[in-house]
Amino acid sequence: MIRPAEVHDVPEIRAMVRELAAYERAEEQARATDEQLRRALFGDPPAAHALIAEDDATGETVGFALWFPRFSTWTGTRGMHLEDLYVRPHARAAGHGRALLASLAARCLRDGYERFEWWVLDWNEPAIGFYKSLGAELLDEWTVCRLSGGPLAELAARAPADAR
């Protein structure tokens, strides 16, 4: 079963975020607190949205998808960025990931979004194979850029005074 996340799901979502970060070899980077996730998902307005996958037989939370809208100047339309997709190892290959992605694809169409995009680590062959099986196009020519910490602060310090 796929359903929208509710406030009481926040601790479970945070636990799965940490599980995902451990799988991606970056557990120390998963620092979000329950309160930060609660504000992001249920604040006014929310910064992001989440779906929960539950096992039909047990009701156990087995996965989640967290996404937020984006905008394309090229198409002049909104799109969806999938930040996290995670299914717990014991529940994989049971259709939960496909159901989460299908639910998000349906939302894209319902809301007039022309693009549904996400990132995948280049070494994550199981995920890459799964995404290709869905018809996803892997855009090898794009490189993710990130500023954080000191470099972000240094660049911000160069902003015109009226922008700070």
Q: What amino acid positions are annotated as catalytic residues?
A: 131
User: E-strand spans in the chain?
Assistant: 2-4, 49-54, 61-72, 77-87, 115-118
Q: Which residues of 115-147 are buried (b: 16+ CB within 10 A; e: fewer)?
A: ebbbeeeeeeeeeeebbeeeeeeeeeeeeeeee
CB-CB contact of 71 with 24 (8 Å): no
Q: Which amino acid is at 101?
A: L
What percentage of the chain's residues is helix, strand, coil (to nearest 5)?
40, 20, 35
Helices (H) and strands (E) in the chain, counts: 5, 5
- For 3, residues 6+ apart whose C-beta sits below 8 A from its C-beta are 51, 52, 54
